[in-house]
Structure 1
Amino acid sequence: MGAKKSKCSFDRIWKDVSPQLVQDPYTSWEQLSAKQKVRKVHGVSRNTAKAEGHTRFVCLSDTHSKTDRLDVPEGDVLLHSGDFSRMGRPDEVQKFNEFLGRLPHRYKIVIAGNHELTFDVASFEKTSFRFLGGKTCDSEAVRALLTNCIYLQDEATEVLGFKIYGSPWQPEFCDWAFNLPRGKALQDKWAMIPNDIDILMTHGPPIGHGDLCFSGDRAGCVDLLREIQTRIKPKYHVFGHIHEGYGMTTDGQTVFVNASTCSYQYTPTQPPIVFDLPGKRQQKAK
């Protein structure tokens, strides 16, 4: 399924959002939600035959090294939106890579999340002392262990004619990896995303879609939703991070997929989410 183009003028909605509200996601969403319609949608059943000429995407996120008994549906492209490990240790990355190697999907596209401490070179010295007892690690060597997928970090790839962009960043959240303060730092990351993206992968959610925490707080990024609705306009946005936000919603323009596999209790009980898109010109991955 895909989202229909919205008749709503998102540009007009965002014109009324003050810059100060970027720092206050809960209040921002109270203002924004009154002016746009969000509804829940459902993915494709794994037992539904794929229509001729379509590409099937299978979405995972936040598997946290708990893939031993994971039942992953068949498809053409596997998308994993980060937190595939507990702390990004080499043994965890190797285990995840072996898991990917056993899957039949033609393409597997992966981004990091805030739990992949070793992948965030800039913050690793600090996070290694907090979470890994100060152990050092060659981040480039750890990343090189991912041989069974296309790893994206603020970059795009094209598979089967679909352009996919991946980014691991999210607003500051418990001071793990790939955290940035709300405002310009995150705006600069989202500005890197091209306009012609079919599927956007981030680890963190946008405001208002799959971002409501058990505490009642919203963890989503206001600026990310602004870029999605007014400029990027992808068909699908796949993410995770907030386990209790699992599921799919649409604003009438983009379908938002929180594909978190682990529940709030870190049990891998939330099934992969599947969607199909009409086929495009076949191209090799870059």
Structure 2
Amino acid sequence: MIIPYKNHKIFAFSDTHGMHSQLRIPSEADILICAGDGVAGIEEQELSDFLNWYAAQPAQLRIFVAGNHELLFDLCPEDAQLLIPKGVTLLEDSGIKYDNIHFYSITARPWLHHKQEIPSSIDFLITHGPAKGVLDEGTGCSLLKDVIAKYKPRNHVFGHIHSCGSQMIICPNTVHYNVSYFESLL
């Protein structure tokens, strides 16, 4: 999904589940966001292959947030971080500022397990899972909903719920984007 923002064209996606070579990244996109589940299995080689493919995509910035299928980030986080190639920025409970755009991620794979604090004035909050009540088919995270209500990021990018992919909802303070591509790649 292309999101025009502050003179950039941001392409956000998730849930390619090993079918990333079929994904067509628009040539005008200069910032890429992967909100997780680039792989189908839990093999380290599959994750490495996906991340190397991602690093090779033309863009000024490539952000990666692990999903629930990137299980290595939960089981062996140090080993998983070693797989991140040059040119890919991993965000895990952290953020970066790029050309006056503040990106931040919290580890909702697909849910948070405790209350989270995040900075204020975030342009893009990136998680793998959705907030409760937002393109979630009733399975979203209530703790994430509370974080968004409290800190009011301008945009929330997530995936996980395949059937709601490529949809957005505009709420009073936050625009929510479900960027799952799984069903469109089948």
Q: State the TM-score, normalized to the length of structure 1.
A: 0.59
Q: Which has the higher contact order (CA 8 A, sep 6+)?
A: 1
Residue of 135, 150, 163 corresponding to 2:89:
150
**Shift of residue 226 of structure 1?**
2.4
Aligned residue runs from structure 1 range 235-254, under 5 A: 235-246=154-165, 247-254=167-174
Q: For residues 54 and 139 of structure 1, what CA distance do their matches in structure 2 show?
A: 35
Aligned-CA RMSD value: 2.2
**Measured at CA, do residues 146 and 170 of structure 1 come closer, stay the same or move farther in structure 2, by a change above 3 Å?**
closer
**Shift of residue 116 of structure 1?**
1.0
**Measured at CA, do residues 251 and 70 of structure 1 come closer, stay the same or move farther in structure 2, by a change above 3 Å?**
same
**Shift of residue 196 of structure 1?**
2.1
Do the aligned residues in 1 keep the contact of 2:66 with 2:109 (CA within 8 Å)? no
Matching of residue 60 in structure 1 with residue 47 in structure 2: no
The structure with the larger Rg is 1
Q: For residues 80 and 175 of structure 2, what CA distance do their matches in structure 1 show?
A: 33
Q: For residues 112 and 248 of structure 1, what CA distance do their matches in structure 2 show?
A: 21
Residue number in structure 1 paired with 2:136: 211
Residue number in structure 2 paired with 1:232: 151
CA deviations over 1:111-161 (Å, ceiling 9, x no partner): 1111111110xxx3xxxxxxxxxxxxx542332111131001111111111
Aligned residue runs from structure 1 range 111-190, under 5 A: 111-120=65-74, 124=75, 139-147=77-85, 148-170=87-109, 185-187=113-115, 190=116
Residue number in structure 2 paired with 1:28: none
Percent identity of equivalent pairs? 32
Do the aligned residues in 1 keep the contact of 2:34 with 2:63 (CA within 8 Å)? yes
**Shift of residue 186 of structure 1?**
2.6
Counterpart secondary structure, 2:21: coil
**Shift of residue 87 of structure 1?**
3.0
Residue number in structure 2 paired with 1:82: 36
**Shift of residue 170 of structure 1?**
4.4
Q: For residues 63 and 72 of structure 2, what CA distance do their matches in structure 1 show?
A: 19
Do the aligned residues in 1 keep the contact of 2:72 with 2:79 (CA within 8 Å)? no
Residue number in structure 2 paired with 1:268: 185
Structure 2 unaligned blocks of 5 or more: none
Q: How many residues align?
A: 183
Q: State the TM-score, normalized to the length of structure 2.
A: 0.88
CA deviations over 1:7-35 (Å, ceiling 9, x no partner): xxxxxxxxxxxxxxxxxxxxxxxxxxxxx
Aligned amino acid, residue 119 of structure 2: P
Counterpart secondary structure, 2:95: strand
Matching of residue 107 in structure 1 with residue 61 in structure 2: yes
Q: For residues 71 and 34 of structure 2, what CA distance do their matches in structure 1 show?
A: 17
**Shift of residue 83 of structure 1?**
1.0
Aligned amino acid, residue 64 of structure 2: V
Matching of residue 256 in structure 1 with residue 158 in structure 2: no
Do the aligned residues in 2 keep the contact of 1:65 with 1:95 (CA within 8 Å)? no
